[in-house]
Structure 1
Amino acid sequence: MSTAPVALVTGAARGQGAAIVARLHADGFQVVAGDVRVDELRTSTADYGDGVIAMALDVTSEEQWAAAVAAAVDRFGTLTTLVNNAGVLHRAALADETAAGFEGSWRVNCLGPFLGIRAALAALTAADGASIVNTCSTSAVRPFPHHAAYGSSKWALRGLTQATAVELAPSGIRVNAVFPGPVATPMLDDRTQDRLAAHGRLGTPAEIADAVAFLVSAQASFVTGAELVVDGGQILKIG
């Protein structure tokens, strides 16, 4: 079995997730890349060879989480790193929001990471230098209008990160979060990207991947419970 670190990355088919897979693979990780967009995922991971496994992963499914963790351990012998990157961006004014829309955001953005942490816990506990990184958002730092569902789900993920960091520290598992600002990914349509770019450039997926790569690396061995904002100063500009 390889002694390389092994990461499970969600939302890996495109955007930030694909960039995280690329960066971790370049850093010597074996990777299980999961996403509901299976065709895109297979295309984006096709050139990595045996070092990356592409798997269908709906983060709201306990069964698919169990299968992804089992695949990592069966194929690579261990699981050292979990990157909860999958998320959905849902906008609606409060008057137009629905129970289904609100709950859907929470299920992917907060319940999903919880299910992943629980599914991976035994494997991470058994690994040396294990770590978890959750992708939060600047919406979990400052409020934005029409973001009640998305923003509150990311605030909840921020709280889950802190609670998990405290509970898992005695087991040697570090838990941190990145807080991306506006990033040029398919999650933001062209009109939104143009509007945001008028106030300063958008980040790139690779810049978020760089932050994640640091947090899961040995260079961050004394870092847990951290909240790393990667937004080009976006939240500093909000009145």
Structure 2
Amino acid sequence: MNILITGATSGIGKQLVLDYLADGHHVIACGRSQDKLDSLAAEAKADEHLSTCIFDVTDREQTLEALQACQEQNNLDCVILSAGVCEYIDDAKHFEPELVDRVFAANFFGVVNSIAGVLPRMKRGSKLVVVDSMARMFQFTRAEAYGASKAAIHYFAGSLRTDLIKEGIQVITVSPGFVKTPMTDANDFEMPMRVTVEQASAAIKKGIDKGKPHIAFPRIFGFILAFLQRLPYRVQIALSKRMKQS
């Protein structure tokens, strides 16, 4: 398969690149840093099945141009959009709108830009995979911007799934729980049931192979969050406050 992956220089995206290369697939690794793309290529030992593409998903013109060039050279069987950022709001009463702008620029509009760049040339039978987060399922403290951006892209992708059925393009959403990455290493709170990037990559690859419309892991954590959603709001707020205090 020809597989394009954004956010390919770190975390889940990087592990997916390495794992798909190990399986013999041709992978186009996309990132915004040439140095990090070069480091990825070195780690992959200059695998002949690896191509790199540099652009910043928050730059719409740059993203569209780069992805068009990628598709002129390759027919994409699978596109995995995993680029994203996380910033927390520490003072809810005096938050900076610019922080929300930055998070949405990457996590929502960056994904939208990428979808717009690849979708027109995607063929029947291809797969479009959008990585969101289980954070969208609960009103976590300080996560106003991050959780909202992931909820927005989850809805966008879900609606797109319905509209692309007639085109024969499958849209798959991925909702990870806590995954040990450089981004989550910066968190200063407890992260229950955190999994490794190897476990995350394996779960995503397995779900894509099976053609699942939605992939969520770890499953038990997902069940817990789904249960919490059913609790009265006052209980949810109390639980969220306890998380802030812990």
> What's the TM-score, normalizing by structure 1?
0.85
Cα displacement (A) at 1:184:
0.8
Q: List runs of 5+ in structure 2 lacking aligned partners.
A: 229-238, 240-246
What secondary structure sits across from 2:139 in the alignment? coil
The answer as to 2:238 corresponding to 1:209 is: no
Identity %: 24
Given the superposition, is the C-alpha separation of residues 123 and 215 from structure 1 closer, same or farther in structure 2, using an over 3 Å criterion?
farther
Q: Return the offset for 1:231.
A: 3.0
Q: For 2:203, what is the secondary structure of its paired residue?
A: helix
Q: Deviations over 1:30-51 (max 9, x none)?
A: 1111112321221112224231
- Provide Cα deviations, 1:160-209, integer angstroms capped at 9, x if missing partner: 111110111111111111111111100023563xx425x44x21112221
Displacement of 1:128 in angstroms is 4.3
**Structure 2 residue aligned with 1:177:** 173
Amino acid aligned to 2:60: E
**1:32 counterpart SS class:** strand
Q: Which structure would you say has the larger RCO, counting Cα contacts within 8 Å and 6 or more residues apart?
A: 1
What are the superposed Cα offsets for residues 124-158 of structure 1, whole Å, 9 maximum, x if unpaired?
1xx34211111111111112011111110000011
Larger-Rg structure: 2
The 5-angstrom pairing of residues 182-201 of structure 1 reads: 182-189=178-185, 192=188, 195-196=189-190, 199-200=192-193
Q: Which residue of 1 aligns with 2:244?
A: none
Q: What is the aligned partner in structure 2 of residue 90 from structure 1?
A: 87
Contact kept? 1:85, 1:134, Cα under 8 Å:
yes
Post-superposition Cα deviations, 1:55-109, rounded to whole Å, max 9, x if no partner, equal 222111223323432343343x311211110011110142232111011111110
Q: AA paired with 1:79?
A: L
Alignment partners' CA distance in 2, 1:90 and 1:96: 15
Once the 2 structures are TM-superposed, how far is the Cα of residue 22 of structure 1 from its aligned partner? 1.2
Q: Does 1:49 align with 2:47?
A: yes
RMSD: 2.0
Question: Residue 132 of structure 1: which of 121, 128, 133 is its match?
Answer: 128
Does residue 231 (structure 1) correspond to residue 221 (structure 2)? The answer is no
Paired positions, count: 223
Residues 1-239 of structure 1 mapped to structure 2, 5 A cutoff: 5-46=1-42, 47-75=45-73, 77-92=74-89, 93-124=91-122, 127-189=123-185, 192=188, 195-196=189-190, 199-200=192-193, 202-217=194-209, 219-220=210-211, 223-224=212-213, 226=214, 228-231=215-218, 233-235=220-222, 236=224
Letter of the structure 1 residue corresponding to residue 174 of structure 2: V
Give 5+ residue unaligned stretches, structure 1. Answer: none
SS of the residue 1:87 aligns to = coil
| Higher mean C-alpha displacement, 94-103 vs 144-153 | 94-103
